[in-house]
Amino acid sequence: MSQTKVALVTGANRGIGLAIAKGLAKQNYHVLMGCRDINAAEKLVDKTDGKITPVTLDLSDADAIATCLNDIDQQYPKIDVLVNNAGVLEREELDQLSPEQLQQSMQVNALAPFALMQFFAPKMAKNRFGRIVNVSSGWGATSGMLEGPVAYAISKSSLNVMTQIIAKQYRKYLKVNAMCPGWVRTRMGGMAATRSPEKGAETAIWLAGLSNDGPTGEFFRDKKQIAW
């Protein structure tokens, strides 16, 4: 019998992240639900299908991330799938954007995912298997970044570049890709959005399960490659 794969999903206590966690659990992954408030997350577990375990993961600063990752690594030394889903959206225009808001966007949307990839990618490579999925946005693409909120576009475009760099570095054993979920009905997207969280999660779940001959270092929407 093959060993159950372990997937760590950040921001998994609501919205797209919760839909990704539930979808992976249905595919028999053991899902680690990364979130800041583990007590609130534990209340969601009984409502989900499959095996999901909440774990504390505070993406707010580098020291907090390091502590959380070491704790996770001690409990789960073999992570097969990492989904960097957690994100923040600052809507201020350029002349109203504060340095603190830009820093927060960069920290959660780009620097934290980089820290997680830097931590787990070498371990995955040592195990000769790994899948990393970065939940990005069309506003982070070259063709769309001038249309989106400033801090969000800057941070998501940074995440896109990181995706390509990590994919090249670990091309032999890892599949590292970014995806755009579209406009999704979440706290960030609002209730007027055209897609459900489950629809927004589909491509991330697909990328998490790529075969060894699957793509790496690419950007997807609706399971189709799109331009960086």
pLDDT tens by residue, 21-38? 999 999 999 999 999 888
Of the listed ranges 80-94, 164-178, 191-205, the one predicted with least confidence? 191-205
Structural domain spans, the chain: 6-148+170-226
pTM above 0.85, yes or no: yes
Encode pLDDT of 150-193 as tens digits: 999 999 999 999 999 999 999 999 999 999 997 677 767 778 77
Confidence check: pLDDT of 39 > 90? no
Catalytic entry in 76, 152, 170, 173: 152
Q: Is 152 a catalytic residue?
A: yes
Query: What residues contact 177, with CB distance under 8 A and at least 6 apart?
Result: 132, 133, 134, 163, 167, 207, 210, 215, 216, 217, 218, 219, 220
**Cα dihedral 82→10→166→222 (10° resolution):** 80
Structural domain 6-148+170-226, CATH architecture: 3-Layer(aba) Sandwich (3.40)
